[in-house]
Chain A
């Protein structure tokens, strides 16, 4: 099992190097002199030269890339062009906000999606089943950031149930922390919740047709036991796979949600860095996203071992 996980990790590591390389190539191919563009309006020659120096633009692409990689492995992602702060510090400071948001959204999505799918599967083809199927397929078309705006407008501005904007760390108390995350969490979690509901319902539909479920019926087990015990564990695998892919998208979605709710997270940092062409920060953000994706995929692979005993042996 551990060897299996190790192998998966090894296979994923090249991704960590390839994605930044793509960014380097893109920057290199971009039209115009990078340093002049970065220096902004009315640049002084000194400013241009300093940026050129800082980005090592005089070196060939491959040298710059390896230079960045060597530093990155040591935990040094360079300094922001905008604020002269270390990129790694910027990322670490804002990471908690984004991770909290993503975590709340995913937990909400899995819980809501699973409950809806299970209830639907209790009576296949029933009214609830059909309704949830319809509602989930419609919900997939709702843009997350707009849903966030609507929720904020309704429950934070018009009816002031939740704090409208910003974020408080967990050190301010769990309730406070959560109250700032409920609305953005729902907004971000809607899409994955709908997908979990559809996927799990579909997987349960397949599993509930199997011989072992018929056997469970023949044993006189109750319907909830059959669906929850014999159905769920076997139906989980395709859902986990989809969920793994989804984490990357939820992470991407957190960018717009952070802007909507004015949360000081990585998404805001990324948008700022793009607007200011702060390449070191952007590279750091890309690397961070890639690491998260790799780790989540690893987690997914490991979880297969729990859900499918065959993988373990």
Chain B
């Protein structure tokens, strides 16, 4: 029944976890390695996501130029005013301009995402390679610890860490970074174990190359592609987590504007100023979505180029 194996009646949309937008650009392509970037940019959704993130970065960098007002300047005479020509998105309970706070908030979000992802990467990648490379008790021990971390509710873990270290955005992001570490660990460990017993690695160890050298030259290239995907997804998670913590008052310290803390303000003024709820939430949503779509585009391009290399 070989004919049944080719089975396009089941396009299996669920197979692709996120961001499947069926379109004419879905046909299988087998690009060569230098073509990966082009292959990533072939999907329209990936391009839109990448452009959105680039714009967000520009807005964050140019915030002082773009924001019409000082985001922390209070004017109690105009508190909780709806959108108007002077204040496009209205003002909050201290009379601060919501648009300016939204623009400056992108700085906090992106910076928070970078910090948390950086922490997770710096901890998870080397530990994962180490566990996968040495194996034995070290592998067992590290894997156990990471599994324990993974099965604890992430926000509970983050809250605990914040409770111990104190609030503030850096501590909060350290917490989120720790929570995301197992993801990087797992991928790095799996990627290392994949190639650990390949002959070229055995050979390079036998030739007396230092383990460090072997790891960097031979293992990293195999581990990095899936890590790129985890980075993208983690950036989205971190942005979302920062918003949650700041909303709970465990993230940024007032009066620094953050999308999460803006939602906190919106929450306590919901009946008087319902318009405050929308912009920060939509920005968080779009940012998370963009990172997921970007990650998905990278994943597709990588699997495609990999199947291409295997002739």
A contact set with B: CB distance below 8 Å: 15, 18-19, 22-23, 26-27, 29-31, 37, 117, 120, 124-125, 129-130, 133-134, 137-138, 140-143, 145-147, 149-150, 152-153, 157-158, 198-206, 208-209, 211, 214, 245, 248-249, 251-253, 255-256, 259-260, 270-271, 273-275, 277, 279, 282, 285-286, 289-290, 293, 297
Contacts and interface: CB of A to CB of B under 8 A. Distances in A.
A282 B160 contact: yes
Interface in B237-270: 240, 243-244, 247-250, 263, 266-267, 270
Contact of A145 (B9, B163, B247, B278): B247
Contacts of B80: none
A271 B163 CA distance: 9
Interface string B103-145: 0000000000000000000000000000000000000000000
Contacts of A143: 240, 243-244, 281, 284-285, 288
A253 B155 contact: yes
Contacts of A141: 236, 285-286, 288-289, 292
B288 A153 contact: no
B11 interface: yes
21 contacts: A18-B148, A19-B148, A37-B166, A117-B14, A124-B11, A137-B19, A140-B292, A143-B285, A146-B263, A146-B281, A150-B278, A202-B12, A205-B12, A208-B10, A249-B153, A255-B156, A259-B248, A271-B250, A274-B159, A274-B160, A286-B152
A205 B244 contact: no
B14 A289 contact: no
Contact of A271 (B15, B249, B292): B249
Contacts of A142: 285
Given A125-B9, A141-B288, A199-B14, A252 B154 contact: yes
A118 to B, nearest CB: 12
Given A26-B165, A133-B14, 18 more contacts: A31-B165, A124-B12, A129-B13, A141-B286, A143-B284, A146-B285, A150-B281, A198-B17, A208-B10, A209-B4, A252-B153, A255-B248, A259-B247, A270-B156, A274-B162, A275-B249, A275-B250, A286-B152
B153 A274 contact: no
Interface string B273-311: 010011011001110110010000000000000000000
B151 to A, nearest CB: 5
Contacts of B243: 143, 145-146
Given A138-B289, A143-B281, A259-B247, A205 B153 contact: no
Q: Which 6 A-B pairs have the closest CB atoms?
A: A202-B14, A252-B155, A146-B281, A252-B153, A133-B13, A201-B14
B271 A157 contact: yes
A44 B266 CA distance: 38
Contact of A152 (B19, B20, B250, B270): B270
A248 B274 contact: no
Interface in B15-54: 15, 17-22
Interface of B: 1, 4, 7, 9-15, 17-22, 148, 151-156, 159-166, 236, 240, 243-244, 247-250, 263, 266-267, 270-271, 274, 277-278, 280-281, 284-286, 288-289, 292
B119 to A, nearest CB: 15
B195 to A, nearest CB: 28
A251 B271 CA distance: 28
B35 to A, nearest CB: 26
A251 B155 CA distance: 9
A153 B277 contact: yes
A252 B179 CA distance: 13
Contacts of A152: 270
A249 to B, nearest CB: 6
Contacts of B18: 137, 140
Given A18-B148, A146-B263, A209 B292 contact: no
B12 A256 contact: no
Contacts of B266: 149
A124 B21 CA distance: 15
A29 B248 CA distance: 24
A169 to B, nearest CB: 24
Given A141-B289, A149-B263, A15 B248 contact: no
Contacts of A279: 163
Contacts of A124: 9-12
Nearest to A150: B277
A51 B292 CA distance: 46
A249 B154 contact: yes
Contacts of B244: 143, 145, 256
B151 A15 contact: yes
Contacts of A285: 156
B45 to A, nearest CB: 10
Contact of A293 (B10, B152, B165, B236): B152
B159 A203 contact: no
A293 B153 contact: yes
A103 to B, nearest CB: 16
Most chain B CB within 10 A, of A146, A152, A158, A289, is at A146
A50 to B, nearest CB: 20
A205 B12 CA distance: 5
Contacts of B148: 15, 18-19, 22
A153 B274 CA distance: 6
A133 to B, nearest CB: 4
B84 to A, nearest CB: 20
A149 B151 CA distance: 28
Most chain B CB within 10 A, of A23, A26, A214, A293, is at A26
Contacts of A275: 249-250
